[in-house]
């Protein structure tokens, strides 16, 4: 199953483009599901179906055309059904002061339940093979980043904390319950987390494999929107996802006689050519501003035709994963593509077998492969949008031979 993730700044046209892509692919005979991951759903509105979705099928896939389904995940329903215990526990623990700082910090990034429910669907559909293409109509950039950062965070939690917590509690529970006011998670909590992790197993690899998943950033040819797109581009790289196209929506027609719109078009031209420069070699696709809002299948199909003229929307337009390890004589090099990043923005640390890359508020644990264990990072540099970290034997290991 191919996964296409459409995201970008609020209001740029993500839902419209995702819906138009769905129609284009369905018309080519591919079984396609457009899944709305945004809590503020507007996918059904884009298809002009508000009335039809109001029935009891809300939350489930609904057929909108031949080979095409849409689904607006009902988060409240999902959480109510599956994760009351976990979310309840995490919330309680966070509310209690006095937990170790590190633990609190890690728990704060513990899965957002909304994103988890969407991820569960992604994994389930991939396992079932029910669709050829899954299109994710995502929330604005920030939340989408939380979405893609969840699988590695959960994986990290399961590997590094979960087992320790569980086995410690087995021994300490009777005493802990007497001496502490901290909520002690029940065995059921652990079973729930384990079950959840089992259902999400593999989704991380799906998202990071550019042959399966690619991200398409929807943007407008304006300075502020483009700046956010550049940041999004970098952060998706940080989380190991491949952006394979940037879609510039709402371009005014060329050669407008009207001075007001003529000026706008010149601004757009300037930022469009800047965008081509920044994102190279990632392709830039453009979408004209229509003369009215784009609502309903006919308008969406027309927009899809303008956007994909001659292109197969299901193809992967870029297949280089954003990070890779290479063996060099006497050392290893980790290369991480972080376009637009400045040296001073990046912080690096190593902890329990992970390289921790922090940029602004985003942090990612890059697992260091087993072959590199025992090696230490000796040099890091940021150059031309690329972070390279050199791993060598530390002095102590070198002495031991
Ligand atoms: N190329 C276009 N021409 C004309 N109207 C457009 C175009 N693209 C999007 N629109 C209109 O702009 C509005 C917002 O689009 P849309 O809902 O797709 O944005 P979004 O990025 O998904 O917003 P949100 O951040 O709220 O999810 C809609 O009314 C849509 O019909
Ligand atoms: Mg939207």
Expressed in angstroms and rounded, the spacing between residue 33 Cα and the centre of ligand 1 is 19
**Domain boundary, last residue among 256, 282, 308:** 308
Residues 247, 392, single domain; the answer is no
Give the DSSP H/E element, type plus range, for residue 340.
none
Q: Is residue 22 part of a domain?
A: yes
CB of 286 closer than 6 angstroms to any ligand 1 atom = no
Tokens in use for 251? 């371009």
**Among protein residues, the one whose CA lies closest to atom 29 of ligand 1:** 293
DSSP string covering 31-97, please?
A: -EEEEE--SS--HHHHTT-HHHHTSTTTTS-EEEETTEEEEE--HHHHHHHHTHHHHHHHHHHHHST
Residues 288, 330, single domain; the answer is no
Q: Is residue 365 part of a domain?
A: yes
Residues 6+ apart with CB under 8 A from 201: 123
Residues 239, 340, single domain; the answer is no
What is the residue range of 345's domain?
Answer: 323-400
Q: Give the three-state DSSP class for 105.
A: helix
User: Residue 343: which CATH number?
Assistant: 2.60.40.790
Residues 368, 297, single domain; the answer is no
Q: Which residue has the tokens 């991939």?
A: 126
Expressed in angstroms and rounded, the spacing between residue 15 Cα and the centre of ligand 2 is 4
Contact 296, 289 (CB under 8 A): no
User: Residue 73: which CATH number?
Assistant: 3.40.50.300
What is the reported pLDDT for 109? 44
Q: Is residue 295 part of a domain?
A: yes
Residues 24, 49, single domain; the answer is yes
Residues 6+ apart with CB under 8 A from 381: 343, 387, 388
Residues 297, 328, single domain; the answer is no
Candidates 208, 270, 268, 293; CA nearest to 19 is: 293
Whole-number mean pLDDT of the chain? 83
Q: Is residue 362 part of a domain?
A: yes
The model's pLDDT over 268-309, given as tens digits with 9 standing for 90+, comes to 999 999 999 888 889 999 999 999 999 999 999 999 999 999
H helices of 158-254, where? 163-179, 187-200, 203-208, 223-238
Q: Is residue 313 part of a domain?
A: no
**Among protein residues, the one whose CA lies closest to atom 23 of ligand 1:** 11
What is the reported pLDDT for 253? 92
Q: How many domains does the chain have?
A: 2
Residues 300, 338, single domain; the answer is no
Residues 104, 190, single domain; the answer is yes
Tokens in use for 399? 């002495």
Contact 287, 247 (CB under 8 A): yes
Residues 256, 388, single domain; the answer is no
Residues 161, 302, single domain; the answer is yes
Q: Is residue 314 part of a domain?
A: no
C-alpha 80/C-alpha 188 separation (Å) is: 16
C-alpha 73/C-alpha 33 separation (Å) is: 12
What is the reported pLDDT for 140? 83
Residues 233, 264, single domain; the answer is yes
Mutate to test the pocket of ligand 1, among 10, 252, 294 (most ligand atoms within 8 A of CB): 294
Q: Is residue 189 part of a domain?
A: yes
C-alpha 307/C-alpha 309 separation (Å) is: 6
Q: What are the residue ranges in the chain where pLDDT is below 70?
A: 50-58, 75-76, 79-114, 157, 160-189, 394-401
Contact 233, 8 (CB under 8 A): no
What is the reported pLDDT for 91? 54
C-alpha 19/C-alpha 295 separation (Å) is: 10
CB of 42 closer than 6 angstroms to any ligand 1 atom = yes
Q: How far is CA 142 from the centre of its chain?
A: 9
Expressed in angstroms and rounded, the spacing between residue 350 Cα and the centre of ligand 1 is 42
CB of 287 closer than 6 angstroms to any ligand 1 atom = yes
CB of 104 closer than 6 angstroms to any ligand 1 atom = no
Ligand nearest to the CA of 247: 1
What is the reported pLDDT for 108? 44
What is the reported pLDDT for 98? 46
C-alpha 177/C-alpha 186 separation (Å) is: 11
**Domain boundary, last residue among 246, 274, 308:** 308
Residues 155, 115, single domain; the answer is yes
Q: How many residues in total does the chain contain?
A: 401
**Domain boundary, last residue among 260, 275, 308:** 308
Tokens in use for 194? 């384990």
């Amino acid at each position: 199953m191919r996964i296409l993730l459409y995201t970008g700044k609020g209001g740029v046209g993500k839902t419209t483009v995702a819906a138009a892509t769905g129609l284009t692919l369905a018309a080519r005979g591919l079984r396609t599901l457009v899944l709305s991951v945004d809590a503020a759903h507007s996918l059904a509105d884009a298809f002009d179906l508000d009335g039809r979705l109001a029935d009891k099928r809300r939350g489930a896939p609904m057929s909108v055309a031949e080979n095409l389904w849409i689904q607006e995940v009902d988060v409240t329903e999902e959480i109510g059904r599956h994760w009351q215990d976990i979310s309840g526990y995490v919330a309680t623990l966070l509310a209690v002061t006095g937990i170790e700082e590190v633990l609190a910090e890690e728990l704060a990034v513990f899965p957002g339940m909304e994103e988890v429910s969407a991820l569960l669907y992604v994994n389930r559909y991939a396992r079932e093979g029910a669709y050829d293409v899954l299109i994710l109509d995502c929330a604005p950039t920030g939340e989408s980043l939380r979405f893609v950062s969840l699988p590695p965070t959960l994986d990290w939690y399961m590997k590094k904390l979960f087992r320790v917590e569980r086995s410690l509690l087995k021994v300490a529970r009777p005493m802990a319950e007497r001496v502490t006011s901290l909520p002690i998670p029940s065995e059921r909590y652990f079973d729930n987390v384990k079950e959840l992790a089992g259902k999400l197993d593999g989704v991380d690899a799906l998202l990071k494999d550019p042959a399966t998943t690619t991200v398409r950033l929807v943007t407008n040819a304006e300075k502020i929107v483009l700046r956010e797109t550049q940041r999004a581009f970098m952060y998706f790289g940080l989380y190991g996802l491949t952006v394979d196209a940037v879609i510039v929506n709402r371009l005014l027609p060329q050669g407008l006689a009207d001075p007001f719109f003529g000026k706008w078009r010149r601004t757009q031209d300037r930022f469009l050519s800047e965008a081509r420069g920044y994102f190279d070699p990632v392709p830039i696709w453009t979408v004209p501003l229509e003369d009215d809002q784009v609502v309903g299948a006919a308008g969406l199909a027309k927009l899809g035709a303008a956007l994909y003229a001659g292109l197969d929307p299901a193809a992967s337009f870029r297949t280089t994963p954003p990070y890779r390890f290479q063996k060099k004589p006497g050392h290893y090099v980790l290369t991480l593509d972080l376009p637009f990043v400045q040296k001073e923005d990046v912080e690096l640390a190593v902890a329990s077998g992970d390289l921790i890359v922090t940029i602004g508020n985003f942090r990612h644990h890059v697992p260091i492969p087993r072959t590199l264990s025992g090696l230490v990072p000796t040099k890091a540099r940021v150059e031309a949008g690329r972070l390279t970290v050199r791993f060598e034997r530390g002095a102590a290991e070198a002495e031991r031979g």
